Amino acid sequence: MKTDANIPDPDGFYEAWVAAHEGLSDAESADLDARLVLLLANQVGDQAVLLACIAAARAAAAMDRPGD
C-alpha cells in the first residue's frame, strides 16, 4: 500500500470529490462513496493492497472513536 503522495493534483482531486457530492442527501452521498470505492478498487486490482487499504481505513475509524 502506498502511503506517500501519489495523487498528481491532490487539491484538484479533493475539489472534484466534493463537487460530486453537491446537492445530494446524506444517503445519496454515502451511496456515491460506496460506488466510488468499487470503481477505485477495480483500478487498484491488487488483492493485498486492497486488504491493506481496508485495514488502514478501519484503523482510522478506531482512532476517531473515543474510548474504543
| Residue 46 interacting with another protein (CB under 8 A) | no
| Residue 30 interacting with another protein (CB under 8 A) | yes
Burial 33-67 (b: 16+ CB within 10 A, else e): eeeeeeeeeeeeeeeeebeebeeeeeeeeeeeeee
Stretch that binds another protein, among 3-11, 14-22, 28-36, 54-62 (CB under 8 A): 28-36
Please state the closest distance from residue 35 (CB atom) to another protein, in A. 5
Q: What angle separates helix 26-44 from helix 47-64, to the nearest 10 degrees?
A: 140
Binding-site ranges for another protein (CB under 8 A): 30-31, 34-35, 37-39, 42
